Amino acid sequence: MSQKNLFTKSALAVAVAIVSSQAYSAGFQLNEFSSSGLGRAYSGEGAVADNAGSASRNPATIMMFDRPSFSGGAVFVDPDVNISGTSPSGRSTDADNIAPTAWVPNLHFVAPINEQFGWGASVTSNYGLATEFNNDYTAGSMGGKTDLTTLNLNLSGAYRLNNNWSFGLGFDAVYAKAKIERYAGDLPQLIAGNPSSPLTPAQRRAIGSLPGDTQIAHLKGDEWGYGWNAGILYEIDKDNRYGFTYRSEIKIDFDGDYKSNLPSAYNPLLSNFGLPAGTNGQTVPGSLTLNLPEMWELSGYNKVAPQWAIHYSLTYTSWSQFQELKATGNNGQTLFYKDESFKDAYRIALGTTYFMDKNWTFRTGIAFDDSPVPADNRSISIPDQDRFWISAGTTYAFNDDASVDLGVSYMHGQHVEINEGPYTFQSEGKAWLYGMNFNYAF
C-alpha cells in the first residue's frame, strides 16, 4: 500500500470516526402511542385511563377497566427540518426537509380477570429517528442517511389492593434496526486544500479528485433488547387520581455489519490517532451497545367540574446513561469511538378535557420537551433541540362500546447552531402530527 493511498484513506477515515457514530447522537424518544394522548400533548398519561392505550404507559391503569377493551391506530408525523450554512469551500450546505414523513402505529388490549387482577398487551414504538440527505450533499460526511426503527412488545399485569391503590408490572421486548450511510461531500477537497496538511502535490490531487457521492461509511444491524416497566395508581375518588410510572433501561447489543476502506495492515498505526479500524473494503462483523434510557413519570387527573377535567405530567428521562458510543470487532478491537455525554432531560405537559355530551369529548394540551443533547454534541444527522407542543383532539362515541379518537399536534423547535467537523450549520425544525385510533369495549 502506497503512502498516497494510505493518507487518502486515513483522511476519509477521520470522517467515519466522527460521523458514523452520530446514529444515536440526539434525543430519539417517541411519545406517539395513542391519538387521544396526542390531542392533549400526552399530559396525564399515567392517570387518565380513557382507553386501552393508557396501560402501555402505566400498567396499573388496567384496573380502571371493567371489561376487555381494544384500541388500535396510528400517528402520522410530518416534519419540516431545514439546514442552512456555507462550507469552508464556499459551497452551500443548505438542505430542506431532511426528515422524512413517518407512520407510528399502535395496538393495545386490556382485560380484567376479576375485581383484583387484570392483564394487558400492547405493540408500540418508543424510539425512532430518520434523516436523509442527497448522496452528493456538500457535507455528506456529516449527513448521509440515518435510520433507527424500534418495535416494543409489552405484556403487563395489574393488581388492585383496595379502592385507592392499584399496582402494575410489565415486560418489554424491543426490536431495534439501525442503518447509517455517509458520503464524502466536499471533505476530500477541504483536506487537499488545507495548506498546513503534510500532503505532497500528488497526494493532494489524489484525495481532491474523489467524487462527492463516494460512500465512506456503511453500517447496519438489528437486535432484540429486554426491559420492564411498573406503575402505581392512587385514586382519591372516581374524579381524582394520580399515577407514578417507571420504565427501565433497555440495553441493545447490536451485532451487525461494518465496512471500512482502510487497510487492516495499518490498524496499529491508525488506532494511535483514534481512527477506525480498516477492513480492506470488506464487510466484517461488528458489535455496538446502545443503552435506551430509563424513565420516570408523575401524572395527575382531576375532574374539576361536571364537564371539565385537567391533567398534567412531569417526565424525567435518564439520558445521562448514554455517555459514549463504541463499536468493536470480533477480536475486541475498537472500530470507532465517540464521547456523547448526554444529559438528563425532562418533559412537562398540561392539558384539559371537555365532556360535551355522551357522544363528544374534546381535549387540548401544551408541553415542553427539554433536549438531552448538549450544544457541543449537536449533529445534523439529528439536529435535536428544545421543543414546544400545542395539541387538540376529540373523541366521538358511536355507542357505549365503540369510539374513535382524533388528535393533532404542532411541535416547534428552537433555532440552533451546529458545529460539526469543519462545518457550521443553522437548523430550525417543526412538525405536524396527526393521529386516529379506534376503540372498542367487549
CA distance 116 to 120: 14
pTM of the predicted structure, to 2 decimals: 0.84
Task: Please state the rounded mean pLDDT for residues 133-158.
Answer: 88
Supply the Cα-derived Rg of the chain in whole angstroms.
25
- pLDDT, mean over the chain: 83
The C-alpha torsion from 412 through 416 and 421 to 423, rounded to 10°, is: 100
User: pLDDT tens digit string along 87-106?
Assistant: 998 899 998 888 888 889 99
Q: Say what percent of the chain tops pLDDT 90.
A: 46
Burial class (CB within 10 angstroms; exposed 0-12, middle 13-18, buried 19+) of 388: middle
- Write the pLDDT tens digit of every residue in 102-120: 889 999 999 999 999 999 9
Task: Give the pLDDT of residue 158.
Answer: 98
pLDDT for res 4:
34
Looking at the predicted structure, is the pLDDT value of residue 18 above 90?
A: no
Beta bridge partners of 245: 231, 297
The strand ranges marked E within 319-422 are 324-328, 334-339, 345-355, 360-369, 387-397, 402-413, 416-420
More confident residue, 314 or 14: 314
State the pLDDT at residue 164: 96
Would you place residue 9 in the very low, low, confident or very high pLDDT band (cuts 50, 70, 90)? very low
Contact 343, 372 (CB under 8 A): yes
Q: What does the pLDDT look like over 177-219, one tens digit per residue?
A: 888 777 878 877 887 777 776 656 776 676 677 777 877 777 7
What is the per-residue pLDDT for 6? 33
Is pLDDT larger for residue 308 or for residue 417? 308
Alpha helices in 149-197 (DSSP H): 187-192
Q: How far apart are the first and last CA of the chain?
A: 71
The larger pLDDT score, comparing residue 334 to residue 74, is at 74
Confidence grade of residue 314 (pLDDT, cut at 50, 70, 90): very high
Could you report the per-residue pLDDT of 213-271, keeping only the tens digit for each?
877 777 778 889 999 999 999 999 999 999 999 999 998 888 877 777 655 654 554 34
> Which of 121-130, 268-277, 338-347, 388-397 is least confident?
268-277
Amino acid 20: pLDDT: 30
For the segment 372-397, the average pLDDT, to the nearest whole number, is: 85
pLDDT of residue 264: 63
Bigger pLDDT: 9 or 421? Answer: 421
pLDDT at 67 over 90: yes
Lowest mean pLDDT among 79-93, 158-172, 204-218, 289-303: 204-218
At residue 100, the pLDDT reads 86
Query: What span, in angstroms and rounded, lies between the C-alpha atoms of 106 and 136?
Result: 36
CA–chain centroid gap for 340, Å, is: 15
Residue 270: its pLDDT value, please?
39
Closest residue by Cα to residue 422 from 1, 3, 11, 2: 11
Separation CA 370–CA 401 (nearest Å)? 38
Mean pLDDT, residues 12-38 taken together: 52
Instruction: Name the pLDDT band for 371 (thresholds 50, 70, 90).
Output: confident
Query: Which residues are registered as beta bridge partners of 352?
Result: 310, 364
